[in-house]
Amino acid sequence: MTLTVQPRREELGLKDGLLYVDGRWRAAHDGSTWTHRHPATGETVGGFAVAGAPDVEDAVTAARRAFDAWSRERAGARVKLLHRYAELLRTHADELRGLQALDNGVPLSFGGIYATSVDMAADAFDHHAGWVDKAGGQTLPPYQGGDHIAMTFREPVGVVAAILPWNAPFVLFAQKLAPALAAGCTVVLKPSEYATFCVLRMVDLLAEAGLPDGVVNVVTGPGDPTGEALIAHPGVDKISFTGSREVGRRIVQASAGMLQRVSLELGGKSPAIVFEDAEDVGLAAMTTMGAVTMGLSGQACVAHTRALVHRTVYDEFLDAAQGMAGMITYGDPFDPSVLAGPLINERQLDRVLGHISRGREERARLVIGGERLAGELCAGNFVAPTIFADADNASTIAQEEIFGPVLAVVPFADEEEAVRLANDTEYGLGAGVYTGNAKRAFRVARALRAGLVGVNGFQLEPHVPFGGYKQSGLGREGGLAAFEAYTELKTVLLPLTDELM
């Protein structure tokens, strides 16, 4: 039986995508389009416009023109609009999950898990709506000189280029647009070419919520030409990007000449540290392996793809992780029994298989997996859940972000070694600590060079800062930190007498 998603395309009424500029849907100036092939079946799903430099120019111009009015919009009006939009997201959650399944192959079963769901995106808009009327500054007494008052104000940074990856479009759409719009910024949004249709529908709902024309504009297409034109545009005041480290470096280089503000979330090689006193070693193993395999098949920047396990519970951990790997099911992303999706494209498939070959060459012990799935899945980019045991922490599979269903397991002897191994990486995005000792949990969490540490579990929330240390990026998304990242701080000195200050 051949796997197909074509009937779902018809059920969802999917149409080819257009650019959204100044409140109007339109084709690219030169008529360029992109054909999207489904990663689970290889079928053509649909197409959409590819924005070139003239289209990006139109979008940035529209955002600049809309900025004056939107940045001065009354706080109450912005609050109501963002809450109204959050409710529209919740109303259309099933439709959006279906469109995502057509985009990136993420199964419906995973699209409903809170951390990757439309509900979390809606909660992010509700949360950031709460900051709109709290964008206050300070009033400071004079430090020296005459009688005066020093005041600070938070003002929107301006036009934002928001560039999304394909793996979690709902949440990342919200993490960028919710604080930007709450702060009074306008946005030119570029979704990934591998997750465009669900994002276009989310933008359509923004218009339905009453967002004024030009406040959010969408330019679709790949990094070249669309992304390159956007990050190099002098009319962009801030770039917010989530994706690979290589592209992040390119953005920093492009922004340097114009000193644009930049927020970057660039991935990780996050460790899960399992101590001998963990309350449930089996659950820790299943949680870790589940994060590497379920839903996104390890294509998540914060997934704990290194397991550092105390030698006394090492075999128990491996047995449970292997059991979890055997529970993962693949197939039609619209089938509720399917738990994991394909790799996003053939390039990523080849990359993951290459890392698996490298793991064998580096003499890590292959416990399970390591091959491409065949049978009715042969047309898709599926790789079996893979576990390497006895990996050297300095090896390629323990150091590089593979972005696939591959777990490297490394033994350790004591707490000091565990922390040293965990921090021995260029990344610093997330980490997990499994222990029954509260003092140890807090001590290790503080010692880890990572932006988000979970104790005996891991959960993303819309109101907490998310981001990384070291080469995992710059800045934070979520909560007050994200809101402030879309503002500039202005100081005003006001004399209270006719004397010079």
Asked whether 192 and 205 are in contact (CB, 8 A), the reply is no
pLDDT at 112: 84
CA pair distance 183, 131, nearest whole angstrom: 8
Query: Residue 193 CA to chain centroid, in angstroms?
Result: 15
CATH number of the 6-267+473-488 domain:
3.40.605.10
Tokens of 375: 């049978």
Domain assignments of the chain as residue spans, ordered by start: 6-267+473-488, 271-449
Q: How far is the C-alpha of 147 from the C-alpha of 145, rounded, in Å?
A: 7
Confidence at residue 147, expressed as pLDDT on a 0 to 100 scale: 85
Residue 429 neighbours by CB under 8 Å, 6+ apart: 265, 267, 268, 270, 301, 302, 450, 451, 452, 467, 468, 469, 472, 473
pLDDT for position 72: 96
**Would you please indicate which residues are annotated as catalytic (active-site) residues?**
265, 301
- The one-digit pLDDT tens for each residue of the chain (501 residues) are 679 999 999 899 999 999 999 999 999 999 999 999 999 999 999 999 999 999 999 999 999 999 999 999 999 999 999 999 999 999 999 999 999 999 999 999 998 888 889 999 999 999 999 999 998 889 988 888 778 889 999 999 999 999 999 999 999 999 999 999 999 999 999 999 999 999 999 999 999 999 999 999 999 999 999 999 999 999 999 999 999 999 999 999 999 989 999 999 999 999 999 999 999 999 999 999 999 999 999 999 999 999 999 999 999 999 999 999 999 999 999 999 999 999 999 999 999 999 999 999 999 999 999 999 999 999 999 999 999 999 999 999 999 999 999 999 999 999 999 999 999 999 999 999 999 999 999 999 999 999 999 999 988 899 999 999 999 999 999 999 999 999 999 999 988 887 665
* Residue 231 token pair: 């990050």
CATH class given for the domain over 271-449: alpha beta
Comparing 6-267+473-488 with 271-449, is the CATH topology the same?
no
So what's the pLDDT on residue 500?
62
Within 8 A by CB and 6+ apart from 469, the residues are: 428, 429, 449, 450, 451
